[in-house]
Structure 1
Amino acid sequence: MEPTAICISAVLERCGLQAGEAVVIAGPGPIGLISLALAKASGVRVAGILGRSSAEGIRFEKAKELGADFIVNIDREDPVKKVLEVTEGRGVDMLIETSGGEQAISQAFEMVRRLGRVCAMGVSGKPQVSIPYDRGVFKGIRYDFCFSSSWTSWERGLGMISKGLLPVEKLITHKLPLEGWEEAFRLLESRQAAKVILIP
């Protein structure tokens, strides 16, 4: 539930994703996949997801299950070109950055439309990341840094899940006995899983 509350706090409460908007999510990990599910539940016009070759297989498959309108392997295809093609040259209304990858952080400024928004949740793990500052100023991009959740996001998330509006169960890729905890960590570290449940 906590990752869902974090996504609701960032994507809906802080960054204000609206029905009818075009959105792309950078990073197909659990936070990115939940953000995709939220976007689809919110009635966006188009929702895509970007990831590296390591996401091929389970994570891209989960993105398809959750309704991604397009998926880009950024190791094989230019994400900026694809996003502009899908949006007929306009760019997305919001880019949700969950990867913390320097390439995605920088390219966000090319994928977002003029006066669009970047909703940043990904942690880079670096003391500093370079961004095309002037490009952001000239396009009037709003950049929101988001962290943690609020009690309202927990309440909203529980309501959405209980009403079947947010299919978070689709993120579960493996169910293992409690003794299989080491295998669970191995699957998560190797990105061969989205979410793993340990059953006592």
Structure 2
Amino acid sequence: MAKRSKSRKRRRAPESTIVFFQPLDNLLSRPCHLQVRVYNRVAQRLASDRRKHKDGSWRAAERIPQYEAYLDAINASWISMRQQCRTNPDFFEWPSTKAWIGDGKFSAAGMDTEGVLSLFGYSVSGELGLSPNERHHILDVVFQAEIPPFASWERLLEWDGPASALRLRKMANCLASFARNGKRRHEAHMAAPVAKWTSDLQHLRLRYYDQLFSFDWPEI
């Protein structure tokens, strides 16, 4: 009687194994906006796994330290480059700066195109179509991350350190300024962007300001 061949199941790689977007050495040699793009994606996965871990996922718990270590390495590199930028103003100029800053035109899609928020991917443009949760995640990342040396040392100082009062005030003032300027235009297409900036400003207030800080909150 012929022996039955046992079917072998194909082994799957453990779900806790992380395949990062790029090796760190390769990533950290690339332009600023590309580094930030990867940073955002890893931070998003970290936030998702932290939620899953609270719900009891042990696989998510295994991935969390790996994501944290990856982000810490990027932050450490940005800190090092900031120090070199501080001591030598001509040290660092990202070659792709003009590509992500935009044309500077004052429009719904362009009012928030310059600076740190745009560098990290924040936008209220209908073309990008970021959801409230996506915009809020980006704002959370900006509040907690090191800021890479994308501009002059003087501009970097305006953003202070992660999770600081100055960082939150700078972010809040940016969003409030966008909303105020949008309101002054009295154009129908500005209603949606103004509503998004107002909502995002409220997110920062409820999540961080009301619990931790007491500086004057900007009015719209």
- Larger strand proportion of the pair: 1
Taking structure 1 as the reference length, the TM-score comes to 0.25
The structure with the larger Rg is 2
- Larger helix proportion of the pair: 2
Which structure would you say has the larger RCO, counting Cα contacts within 8 Å and 6 or more residues apart? 1
Taking structure 2 as the reference length, the TM-score comes to 0.24
